Amino acid sequence: MKPNGLPDLTRASVEALEGLVRYHNKLYWDDDAPELSDPDFDRLVRALRERAPGSPVLDELGASRFGEPVTHEVAMLSLDKCYGDDELADWLLDFEGRVVVSPKFDGVAASIRYDAAGQLARAATRGDGVTGDDITRNVREISDVPRRLLVAPPGPVEVRGEIFLRLSVFARHKDRFSNPRNLAAGAIKQKDPKKSAEIGLSFAAYEIFGLDAPTEHDKIDWLARAGFAPIERRVVEKGEVLEVYRELARRRPSLDYEIDGVVMKADRVDEQRRLGSTSHHPRFALAYKFQGDTGTSRLRAVEWSVSRTGAVTPIALVDPVALSGVMVSRASLHHPGYVAKLGLSLGAEVELTRRGGVIPNVERVTSPGDAPVEVPAACPSCGSELTPQGDFLLCSRTSTCRAALIGRVAHFVAAAEIDGFGERMLGELFDRGLVRAPQDLFSLTAAQLLTVPRVGDKLATKLVAEVARARTIRLDDFLRCLGVDDLARHVAKVLTRELAGLDAVLAVTPERLAGIHGIGEIIARSVTEGLRRERPMIDALRAVMTIEEPAPVAPPEGPLRGLSFVFTGKMVRRRREEAQALVQRLGGATPDGVSKTTSYLVIGDDRSDGKQSSKEKAARKLVAGGAGPKIIDEGEFEAIVAGA
């Protein structure tokens, strides 16, 4: 990789930028021979986006010559943008009725067509708005996109939305890519659908054609019922629009996805029709964009800290600079490999960004400094030897490393929302041998706390009360506190909803977990491994905490009540999770394995491997013994649910 392979982007013409993006995109995705570092490539793409947001080259990111060209039946227009409250107020005067407000996802626009039977027929990128690329095979792998609509459509319909990456998913890739949008754009044009699926793309549906509904919010509700992941949206009076915009702007750093603004749409469809479109954009919708999240500063020092996993992590200390309205003086450098990749030196002028929910990031060096950045030779906390692992440096003795152990407790108190235990306090408690692991917090007494400098009666009592308050915890919050990779809010909620309590969560197999809608194999593996690794801590915490498990949900009333369906093999018509969700909605059960009481074993229609699964073998054995499930194919299953 050439360290400084880019010309001065501020002076380059749009044509030159487009040429560079095309060239480097091809080297990266087609030839697997990048000449630019990832941050440089991102910088190049960003420069083009800033200068020419509508450039068709931006939609070409990813493998070139991807799929067949698809002509859009209705042109995919971009949204009109506004940057000020006055422009917004003007626009609101143009129509009657309420306004639908939703986040503007920073992703890749796509169109998905379903046939009259509700079957996913074709998906395409926006392209130049008239013609896009066929991305059907990759879109079929996105778990937010139903392969078959759960609600029968009135005829063929077209769903539009944004393909994006959740930040919690992007975290797994961020040492290779510095920005979720570019990775999403590349992943959706990945030639191998399996590889595309592994990236873990999400989809936010915000538009449907072919459905006759009186309001925008009726359409969005229909999309959620049809099986699309629901998106956040508010239906408000015109006078409340600005307030909702400000609220979203405030919440932006804590969202699990990047947004670059807020989309507003006239709610009444008759008003939308009346307003119509210009040749560039619809008049009934407006994107109010956020701004000002890039800045330049000078690197003064690099601080090395040790994370709870033992990773020695560099943090840039820079001269204070305002980013998105917040003063910033510290920024992430991720790992030692990133410092090397940036070619960072002390005194360098650096470009910083603050995007979405991540802490500020050093994007690049704009002018080099004069002294090298020294990488520590031993663990800055415990002095142990460091083990290099790819771009990372790991403390070799995390089970005794002070910083790593304190980091684990710090994660726990932050996730459990126990106030008053900052890094300094945890350090004092650690050094006194009082708190070396999260479970130790629960045996902490006021008398012990009084031994810490500057802690008086009042504070000691308050801290003990804080811990006592956290002793009772909901299962999903408990899981989130454990610090297991990929077990953040969303997955913790899914586990709590799908499994019957903590024992079931601890016993779950990666296969069962991967079968749950929206989880997938990679997360399933890392979560089950993490839970196994943390088992001693989990058992210690269970002994001192009260974990509230939700009452098992009574099976809903429905036509399939009392029937159970087990699925096996590769399914063609629906994804397995979709079929399971459908059965559950109709009141049926979907156990994991076949037993004497199972009503049906549904075998997927793709029998290309010619093998019998273990579930099928078990079922056939039961049937031979005169019991067991009825064995059916996907067609028979569809007939049963259609009849129900």
Contact residues for Zn ion (CB under 5 A)? 379, 381-382, 384, 395, 401
Q: Give CA–CA dist 371/368, Å, rounded.
A: 9
Cβ-contact 382, 400 below 8 angstroms = yes
Q: Give CA–CA dist 502/498, Å, rounded.
A: 11
Q: Please, what is the minimum distance in Å from the beta carbon of residue 389 to Zn ion?
A: 14
Tokens standing for residue 29: 């995705």
Q: Please, what is the minimum distance in Å from the beta carbon of residue 330 to Zn ion?
A: 21
Cβ-contact 550, 500 below 8 angstroms = no
Q: Please, what is the minimum distance in Å from the beta carbon of residue 439 to Zn ion?
A: 21
Q: Please, what is the minimum distance in Å from the beta carbon of residue 413 to Zn ion?
A: 21
Residue type, 307: S
Q: Give CA–CA dist 577/498, Å, rounded.
A: 12
Angle value at C-alpha 601, between 600 and 604, nearest 5 degrees: 135
Q: Please, what is the minimum distance in Å from the beta carbon of residue 403 to Zn ion?
A: 6
Give the dihedral of Cα atoms 312, 313, 314, 317; nearest 10 deg.
-120
- The secondary structure element, H or E, covering residue 504 is helix 502-507
CB atoms within 10 A of CB 457: 10
Judged on CB neighbours under 10 Å (0-12, 13-18, 19+), 523 is buried
Q: Please, what is the minimum distance in Å from the beta carbon of residue 441 to Zn ion?
A: 22
Cβ-contact 24, 62 below 8 angstroms = no
DSSP 8-class letter at 557 = P
Q: Please, what is the minimum distance in Å from the beta carbon of residue 353 to Zn ion?
A: 31
Residue type, 550: P
Tokens standing for residue 99: 């306004």
Closer Cβ to Zn ion, 5 or 427, answer by number: 427
The DSSP-derived string for 395-427 is ES-TTT-HHHHHHHHHHHHHHTT-TT--HHHHH
Picking from 565, 490, 555, 569, the residue whose alpha carbon sits closest to that of residue 527 is: 490
Picking from 337, 290, 379, the residue whose alpha carbon sits closest to that of residue 178 is: 337
Closer Cβ to Zn ion, 297 or 313, answer by number: 313
Tokens standing for residue 164: 């994006």
Residue 318 in 3-state DSSP? strand
Q: Give CA–CA dist 206/111, Å, rounded.
A: 10
Cβ-contact 367, 312 below 8 angstroms = no
Closer Cβ to Zn ion, 302 or 582, answer by number: 302
Closer Cβ to Zn ion, 70 or 382, answer by number: 382
Closer Cβ to Zn ion, 397 or 493, answer by number: 397
Q: Which residue has the tokens 């560079």?
A: 20
Instruction: Work out the angle between the directed axes of helices 241-251 and 85-92 (0-180°, nearest 10).
Output: 140
Closer Cβ to Zn ion, 401 or 429, answer by number: 401
Closer Cβ to Zn ion, 74 or 377, answer by number: 377
Closer Cβ to Zn ion, 342 or 401, answer by number: 401
Residue 104 a catalytic site member: yes
Q: Please, what is the minimum distance in Å from the beta carbon of residue 382 to Zn ion?
A: 3
Closer Cβ to Zn ion, 314 or 569, answer by number: 314
The DSSP-derived string for 246-264 is HHHHHHGGGSSS-EEEEEE
> Catalytic: which of 104, 174, 238, 265?
104
Closer Cβ to Zn ion, 51 or 402, answer by number: 402
The DSSP-derived string for 94-111 is T--S-EEEEEEE-SEEEE
Q: Please, what is the minimum distance in Å from the beta carbon of residue 111 to Zn ion?
A: 51
Q: Where are the beta strands (DSSP E) in 255-372?
A: 259-266, 285-289, 294-306, 312-323, 326-332, 345-346, 349-353, 361-367, 371-372
Q: Give CA–CA dist 638/620, Å, rounded.
A: 22
Cβ-contact 135, 110 below 8 angstroms = yes
Q: Please, what is the minimum distance in Å from the beta carbon of residue 304 to Zn ion?
A: 11
Backbone Cα Rg of the chain = 27
272 Cβ contact partners less than 8 Å away, ≥ 6 residues apart: 216, 265, 266, 282, 284
Closer Cβ to Zn ion, 395 or 410, answer by number: 395
Q: Please, what is the minimum distance in Å from the beta carbon of residue 409 to Zn ion?
A: 15
Angle value at C-alpha 280, between 276 and 286, nearest 5 degrees: 65
Residues carrying an active site annotation = 104
